[in-house]
Amino acid sequence: MRLQIPLAITFLIGLFMAVQFFVPHEVFQYSFESLLAWVRIVGAFALVLGIGSLLRTHWDKIRRRRRDWPYSIVTIVSFLAMCVIGIGFGHEPGTVFYWVFENIQVPLDATMFSLLAFFIASAAFRTFRARSTEATLLLVAAVVVMLGRVPSALIVSFGDTAVGHYLHANMPDVSEWIMNFPTVAGKRGIIFGVALGAIATALRVILGIERSHLGGGGGGGQ
């Protein structure tokens, strides 16, 4: 029963959500709205479970003195401190919570992301090679799109010349063409593939073939 009941619920709800899309009757509409509220409530519980998992994982790491365990202390202390500050003193603008967010989390987060620029530049220098026809096409397209994104770089490169101004005026159009046609063609194929995969996975879940979401590992397949 522990398996059959969740599978039956999944099947019925999945079927209902697919059918209700095509039936504008008020009963279906009301049920749909109720289900959406349930999803939000379940989502809130998932957040609590996630927090529990985070704390349990890091506590276990500290207890067993695993590699880099002191960072886990920082994680737990930071988490608890923000909880106390936020729940105890509010999180509106002007509060301590807001100050910590603006002056600690925002700069830290932005710094981590900014480091990417350095690594991308280094990686581009070391690995972006025209080793084959495909790689050459990719490289040329990348350079054109990059220049199209920053056309003023062409003025810097060619100076205040006719060539510089011509490229400055037209490179964004070439870049936009690459984005609008070759890129969209490739991307649309990927989107179709992903969508078909998502439909297949959804059907497997609704029909009870895929059961990994019920826990206990592995999908179905029988």
Partner 1 sequence: MNVEERPVGWWRAESIWTRLLSLDRRWIFLGIALAVLIPIITGLTLPLGKPAPPTVAVYDYIDALQPGDVVMFAVDYGPSSMPELHPQALAMVRHALEKHLRVLSVSLNVQGTALANDVLQTVGEELGAVDGEDYVNLGFKVGGSAVILGMGEDILTVYPTTADGRRTRTLPIMAGVRNYDDIALVIDLAASNIPGAWIAFAKERYDQDVALGITAIMATDFYPYLQSNQIIGLVNGLKGAAEYEALVGLEGEQAPGMLGMSAQSIAHLLIIVLVIVGNIAYFASGRQRVGH
Is 187 among the residues that bind partner 1 (CB under 8 A)? yes
Is 109 among the residues that bind partner 1 (CB under 8 A)? yes
**Which residue stretch of 26-34, 54-62, 76-84, 199-207 sits at the interface with partner 1 (rule: CB under 8 A)?**
26-34
Least distance between partner 1 and beta carbon 191 (Å): 6
Is residue 129 left, alpha or beta, with left meaning phi > 0 and alpha meaning psi from -120 to 50?
beta
Tell me the CA distances in angstroms from 5 to 32, 158, 208, one per residue in order: 21, 70, 11
Is 39 among the residues that bind partner 1 (CB under 8 A)? yes
Is 183 among the residues that bind partner 1 (CB under 8 A)? yes
| DSSP annotation string for 169-190 | HHHHHHHHHHHHTHHHHHHHHH
Q: Which 3-state string (H, E, C) describes 98-156?
A: HHHHHHHHHHHHHHHHHHHHHHHHHHHHHHCCCCCHHHHHHHHHHHHHHHHHCCHHHHH
The answer to whether 86 touches 104, Cβ cutoff 8 Å, is: no
Pairwise CA distance, residues 82 & 80, whole Å: 5
- Look at residues 72, 53, 50 and name the one whose alpha carbon lies nearest to residue 61: 72
Encoding tokens for residue 114? 């900014």
Is 174 among the residues that bind partner 1 (CB under 8 A)? no
Encoding tokens for residue 178? 């690459």
**Which residue stretch of 52-60, 76-84, 123-131, 209-217 sits at the interface with partner 1 (rule: CB under 8 A)?**
123-131
Is 158 among the residues that bind partner 1 (CB under 8 A)? no
Is 59 among the residues that bind partner 1 (CB under 8 A)? no
Binding pattern for the stretch 136-155 against partner 1, x by CB under 8 A and - elsewhere: ---x--xx--xx-xxxxx-x
Given 24, 43, 217, 218, the residue binding partner 1 (CB under 8 A):
43
Q: Which is nearer to partner 1, 62 or 178 (CB)?
A: 178
Q: Which residues bind partner 1 (CB under 8 A)?
A: 21, 29, 32-33, 36-37, 39-40, 43-44, 46-47, 92-93, 98, 101-102, 105-110, 112-114, 117-118, 120-122, 124-126, 128-130, 139, 142-143, 146-147, 149-153, 155-157, 168-169, 172, 176, 179-180, 183-184, 187-188, 191
